[in-house]
Amino acid sequence: MNIRLKISFVVLLGAVLLGGIGSFYVWFNSFIDKRQHIGLSIMTIEALERQLDAQVLHSAFVLYGNQDSIIHSIKTLQTTTKALSDNPDFTADYPNSARDLERYKTIVSIKIDSIYRFQSANAAIKNATSSIPSLKAEALRLFSTQKSNEEVFLLALTQIGGGVFIAKGGLDAALISTLSQQAQMLPCDTFSTKGKRHLCDTVQSNLRVIGEYFPDYVQGIDRLTTSGSYEALATLRTSFAHENETLKVRIQGYALGLGIFYLLLLGLIITMLLRSEKESRTDRLTSLGNRKKYEEAIRSGDFGSLVLINIDRFKNYNDFYGVDVGDTLLCSVSAHFSSIVSPHSNAISLFRLGGDEFGLLFKPSILSQSNRIVQDILHYFETNPLCIDDLEIFISVTVASSEHAPFLETADMAMKKLKNSKNNAFITYDPAMNLREMIETNLIKLETLKDALSNNRILPHFQPIVSLSGSSLPKYESLARVLSPDGSIESIFSYITLLDDARLSGVLLRQMIEKTFSIMEDHIGEFSINLSSSDLDDVSTVNWILQRLEASPHCASRLIFEILENHIIDDYAPIERFIHQVRPYGCKIAIDDFGSGYSNFARLLNLSIDYLKIDASLIRPLATDPNAHAVVATIVAFARTANMQTIAEFVSDKEIYDAVVALGVDYSQGYYTGKPEALS
Amino acid sequence: MLSLKYYFTVIMLCTSTVGFSIEPITPIPLRIPYDSAKARLGQHLFFDPILSRDRSVACVSCHDFAHGGTDSRSVSSGVGGAQGSMQSPTVLNAVFNIAQFWNGRAATLEDQAMGPIHNPVEMAMSSDEVTSRLMHNPFYRQEFARIHGRSTITITDVAEVIAEYEKTLITPNSPFDRYLRHKAPLSAAAVRGYEFFKRAGCASCHNGVLVGGNSFQKFGVITPYPRKSNTDDRYALTGKERDKNVFKVPTLRNIAQTAPYFHDGSAQTLSEAIGIMSRHNVGIKPTQQEEGDLIAFLESLTAPLPATAKKP
């Protein structure tokens, strides 16, 4: 998974978590609001009903009161109850409470009906009751105690009047019923006048009304406490509390879920961090530890030595077979390393430290075996090809080991030294090699060289090349000298490797050509200038040379380029092209250091060369070594056949000079025939 | 905020029990809240015969402000001269009623407003006919759209504006209310009449802001009152024997202007009405003096009409 995908994933989960927290927050808030709202509604309902009870009792108590408040309370109670039962939050989240509320509504509506009936009864009974005293006053005016039936009436009216007040106060329906019956038995028909009969009828009517309405009156008051509405409300409250508890558990569950999700997310991020930490220490291709892991191992562990293994010319495999094969090759190599060191896997750690460089870190305990293991490795690759797809590839490795900290640096220096010397596959770092001092010296030299190049302190010295046939113009090889600020003059020789490494050879070449040309203006003869094959790979240098030749045709025609094969030439095309390009200016071509090991005879035939400069390694032992003698003879014969002339280098004494002359070499160059000197 | 509002309500409700008025009658509030835009539109509809099938009657036809918001006929007549069975109750102060109609069959003003519109002997219109007719009327279409921001008109919208208009029809400044508010003295006769009103037991049923309208009572408690079979009493709703001739106690506000009286319009004058009530429901016979005082009191309940009680 790439990092962008990982980040998106974590961000997505984070967003989900945030959404979860947000929705929880909203839900929780709304839960609290709803709960409060509903709880208060229930409280309000109870308060309203108690208020209604008080108002009903009040209206029973006062003879003429304002009943608007009763109606107002009933309406408010009904609206509040309806609002709650229509509240979707209530019915959805509190189904049991909602059911209880419906039950309460039914009970309360019965109670309200009975209150309406109570109102009717109350008014009728009040009026009937309060008319009794005035009827009694009227009776006392009309009736006489002298007549027995009238006396009975007066007595009965008094008893009934008193009884009604007692019964009303005691809510005694039975007594009212008795009194009502007693009134109906009054002997109204026996009275003599219409006024008396009417009075008696009115008493009977009032008592009938009282008797008729009293049950509603009693029931109305009784229902206030016995309707069961308060019990229903209590049940509702219990259900509500219970359901709140259930909701609370759900909220806790949700919060817990969010918490767990949070921890999981945290765990995931930590896992991914750890993994990417681990990945950052692991080479993806070979799964070996990488440079970072190596550095950590060095910091934390105790190790005795590092063995660096470099695959020789790995770049060539990559270029030739392609990167895929190159990768497979690396894997295969790493697998072989692993299997070779596997018996000691607890004491040897294997790393891939660079593109084609592996490292084996040895613990002190196994130090004694390190040489044997290195030999095993070298031997394995010398004798076994790597099989990659259908290819069998033999590779070689260069090994540098060091027991001196810092391991990597010392082993690396040893490796460089080994690569430069090219004559061995294994080196062990030894402080006596002075590698570090060499590096420091190199750095100082590089500074000196740069300084000389930029301050016009490169001087050409000219060494004569003497014709042994005696009949030709003088020739000189132009050799670069470095003028130190203190006035001493140094050969360029010790700077040669630096020139290539620091990519300064082109600069030096230009200065040498310029200065040689200016000398040539005043001198006759041919002048040769050194040119390395790598200079010819640089198009800008070649173009500069061509322009310079164009500008000074009389110098160009006397110029010899000494081409040095300083490395294996894979591609001769740039050299061929250069030769073709400079020929029109009259330039000649020499091959420098011919016979030093690189040169390819067959290729040279195609290059139309003018001179072969025979390498010093063949000339120096000429007087003593018959083999060298034979080789030089062969070269001379070959050159003659190919119509080339030969130049012997390093002719340092008479013996060599004589041998050279005897072999028929065309020119001699060396201290015996002339030292390099400045020309004015 | 929510909780505060609720606690406040609870506290108000609890304390209001202590605040019972000493007097059984309370003055009409000087103003109550209403939506003026809706009320104005309701006023148009109230006077517009567009709501009746043959465009012959409007609300105002039977709730005539010249007669205290009632019909001067014993029973009202609707489309095509059809006769109803009940005397039309007043539209004035109707907002304070326990419920609407003589038997309280409509809980709200909105419900009431639909009654006469649908009643075959009154306006005889279906809901669809009402809304379609109004939507084809440019004025109403525009006015309703202005209120609701939509092009359709529902029957609920119609009921709502009429109800809103009725909230404007309150009569708070009768001499008696001004007396209760200690704003103006009352005639001695009226004061005596009020005392008799309480003493005789009238106030047992006629109390509150409407001097009635807050309970259901039987017509003919003491002496039974004959019942017509087509009477819309509580019995017509409940089917219970005891509810025969039980009606919502009518308001006595502006009573001097709303003759004829009772659900059947059987009494033409206040004196007649007092006589019938005394006999059937109170069981007394007031003296001439008492009756005169009572009428003086009842006349003190007549208030000036509200500004909206006229054609817009």
Segment B83-141, tens digit of pLDDT: 888 999 999 999 999 999 999 999 999 999 999 898 888 899 999 999 999 999 999 99
Please check whether residues B163 and B181 belong to one and the same domain: no
Does A76 fall in a domain? no
Judging contacts by C-beta atoms under 8 Å, the chain B residues touching residue A55 are 17
Task: Write the CATH number for B294.
Answer: 1.10.760.10
Strands (E), chain B: 216-218, 246-248
Lowest mean pLDDT among A38-47, A363-372, B249-258: A363-372
| Residue A677 counted as domain residue | no
Q: Are residues B101 and B128 in the same domain?
A: yes
The residue length of chain A stands at 680
Average pLDDT over residues A179-184: 92
Binary contact (B215, A67; C-beta < 8 A):
yes
Here the CATH number for the domain that contains residue A648 is: 3.20.20.450
Tell me the residue range of the domain where B288 lies.
Answer: 175-299
Task: Report yes or no: A204 at the B interface, CB cutoff 8 Å.
Answer: no
Q: Is residue A599 scored above 80 in pLDDT? A: no
User: Measured between CB atoms, which of B7, B201, B216 is closest to A130?
Assistant: B201
- Nearest Cα of chain A lies from the Cα of B191 at a distance, in angstroms, of 17
Which residues on A lie below 8 Å from B2 (Cβ)? 33, 36-37, 40
Q: Which residue matches tokens 């669809």?
A: B128
Q: Give me the interface pTM, i.e. the ipTM.
A: 0.83
Query: Which has more confidence, A367 or B12?
Result: A367
Asked whether residue B267 is domain-assigned, the answer is: yes
User: Looking at beta carbons, which residues of chain A come within 8 Å of B21?
Assistant: 66
Confidence at residue B96, expressed as pLDDT on a 0 to 100 scale = 94
Give contacts of B16 with chain A, Cβ < 8 Å: 51, 69
The minimal CB distance from B21 to the residues A37, A66, A122 is found for: A66
Q: What's the confidence (pLDDT) of residue B9? A: 52
B258: Cβ–Cβ under 8 A, 6 or more apart, which residues? B67, B68, B69, B70, B90
Specify if A82 maps to a domain: no
Alpha helices, DSSP H, located in A286-385? 291-300, 314-321, 323-341, 370-383
- How confident is the model over B284-309, as pLDDT tens digits? 889 999 999 999 999 999 999 999 99
Expressed as residue numbers, the domain containing A308 is: 291-433
The residue of B22, B197, B221, B225 whose CB has the most chain A CBs within 10 angstroms, and thus the best one to mutate to test that interface, is B221
Tell me which of B122, B164, B291, B299 is the catalytic residue. B122
Residue A656 falls inside a structural domain: yes
B96 vs A contacts (CB less than 8 Å)? 68
| Distant-in-sequence, close-in-space partners of A152: CB < 8 Å, separation ≥ 6 | A187
B122 catalytic residue (yes or no)? yes
A196 vs B10, higher pLDDT: A196
Say if residue A64 is exposed, middle or buried (CB neighbours under 10 Å; 0-12, 13-18, 19+): buried
Task: Name the residue among A43, A54, A120 with its Cβ closest to that of B17.
Answer: A54
CATH number assigned to the domain comprising residue A320: 3.30.70.270
Per-residue pLDDT averaged across A611-622, rounded? 89
Does residue B206 sit in the same domain as residue B231? yes
Residues B132 and B187 in one domain: no
Residue-wise pLDDT for A371-405, tens only, equals 888 888 888 888 888 888 888 888 888 999 998 88
Q: Say whether both A356 and A428 belong to one domain.
A: yes
| Boundary (domain end) residue, out of A433, A462, A495 | A433
Best A68, A89, A115 member to test B by mutation, with max B CBs in 10 Å, is A68
**B131-177 tens-digit pLDDT:** 999 999 999 999 999 999 998 999 999 999 999 999 999 999 999 99
Tokens of A581: 């390009």
Show which of A223, A246, A264 is a domain's final residue. A223
Q: Where are the alpha helices (DSSP H) in A521-593?
A: 539-551, 553-556, 573-582
Q: For the residues B217-240, what does the mean pLDDT come to? A: 92
Write out the two tokens for A246.
Answer: 């259930």
- Predicted confidence (pLDDT) per residue in A117-137, tens digit: 999 999 999 989 988 888 898
CA distances A678 to A104, A514, A519, A653, Å, are: 127, 15, 10, 22
Question: Which CA distances in Å does A333 have to A280, A356, A400?
Answer: 22, 10, 17
pTM above 0.90, yes or no: no
Angle between helices A539-551 and A505-520 (to 10 degrees): 10
Using the structure block, give the residue that is written with the tokens 């003059």: A489
Question: Which of A150, A169, A152, A156 is closest to A204 using CA atoms?
Answer: A156
Minimal Cβ distance to B214: which of A68, A124, A209: A68
Nearest chain B Cα distance for residue A170, angstroms: 21
Of the residues A163, A197, A223, the one at which a domain ends: A223
How close is the nearest chain B Cα to the Cα of A20, in Å? 27
Q: How far apart are CA A553 and CA B233, in angstroms?
A: 139
Disruptive mutation site among B1, B15, B20 for chain A (greatest number of A CBs within 10 Å): B20
Which residues of B are less than 8 Å from A36 in CB distance?
2-3
Is there a single domain that holds both residue B199 and residue B279?
A: yes
B147 and B192 both lie in a single domain: no
* Total tally of structural domains belonging to chain B: 2
User: How many structural domains compose chain A?
Assistant: 3
